[in-house]
Structure formats: structure tokens, C-alpha cells
Amino acid sequence: MVKLLTQSFIFIIGFMVLAAGASNLYKYFNYRFWGEATYGFVDHPSSGRGLGGRPLIQYKDSSGATHEFKSVAKTHWFHRPKTGENIKIYIKKSEPQRAIVDSLFFYLFFPTLCVIVGSYCCIYAIAFHKEQGGLADQNEKNQTDQVHF
């Protein structure tokens, strides 16, 4: 019973990590290959105290309409973005008000790592998980191996 619970727990956690990574990869590739690349500028730098930042970015779509969005991905890791700084973004052609920042770490490296770890957990839970015998199991085995005369 414990083995089944452990396998189920590992599988569920692995599947959640796999799904999150796959979702971000899908989103990035959807914007990257079927969207439109453009440059936006930082309208307001991030208000966080930490290094880097998630700024408010303003951009114009192909029809000339102005849109803005708060970046989910960090655009800078070691310094705050400056007002007016250009940042490469991808926008959806069908919905130009939706956009993402071109961040390889946030949308490519980290999700790929999540897919690998999640896949490993799922495969491990299904195929390679073996219950390890504890000390009590070893003592019982030793007692049954002894020959009584």
C-alpha cells in the first residue's frame, strides 16, 4: 500500500511539473513562430526592491494601435530596466493586445528543465520504482533462510 501511495505521489508531482513546463513551452513557441516580433519600450520600471525587474511595457501593433502589458518574465536580472529602454517582444497576430517578452530563460530554459524533471518523475513512478526492503524485511529473510535441524 505504501508503495502505491509513493508511486502515485511521485507521478502526480511529476505530471504537474511536466504540465507547467509544457504549457510555458507551448506559449513561447506559439508567440515566437505564429506571432509577430516587435520592440516595445519600458513605460514604467519595476517597483520591486530585488535585482532585475518586470516592467510595464508599451508597444504598437502592426495597425499602429498602442498597447501595454506588465511583463511576467524578468527582463533584466542584475539591474533595473530604464524608462524608454527598448525590449524585444512577441505579440499575437489575432490578439495584438496579448504579448510576451523574449526571455529565453523564462520561456525556454526553465520550462525545458521542468519537462525533463517531470518526465523523469512520471517514468520513475511507473516503471522503475521498486520498494526497498527495510531492516525488518532483511531479518525476516535471514530467519527463513536458516535451516533448522
In this prediction, residue 103 carries a pLDDT of 82
Distance CA 37, CA 53 (A): 21
Work out the widest C-alpha separation in the chain, in whole angstroms.
Answer: 96
Output 80-85 pairs: Cβ under 8 A, ≥24 positions apart.
80/45, 80/46, 80/51, 80/52, 80/53, 81/42, 81/45, 81/46, 81/53, 81/55, 82/42, 82/45, 83/42, 83/43, 83/44, 83/45, 84/41, 84/42, 85/41, 85/42
In this prediction, residue 72 carries a pLDDT of 77
Q: Can you give the pTM of this predicted structure?
A: 0.71
| CA distance to 73, 127, 149, per residue, from 61 (Å) | 20, 49, 90
| CA distance to 21, 50, 51, 105, per residue, from 78 (Å) | 25, 9, 5, 14
Per-residue pLDDT of the chain (149 residues; tens, 9 = 90+): 788 888 899 999 999 999 999 999 999 999 999 999 999 988 877 656 555 567 888 998 888 889 988 887 766 666 677 888 898 999 988 888 889 888 888 888 999 999 999 999 999 998 876 655 544 455 555 555 555 55
Ordered DSSP codes for 119-144: HHHHHIIIII--PPP-HHHHHHHHHH
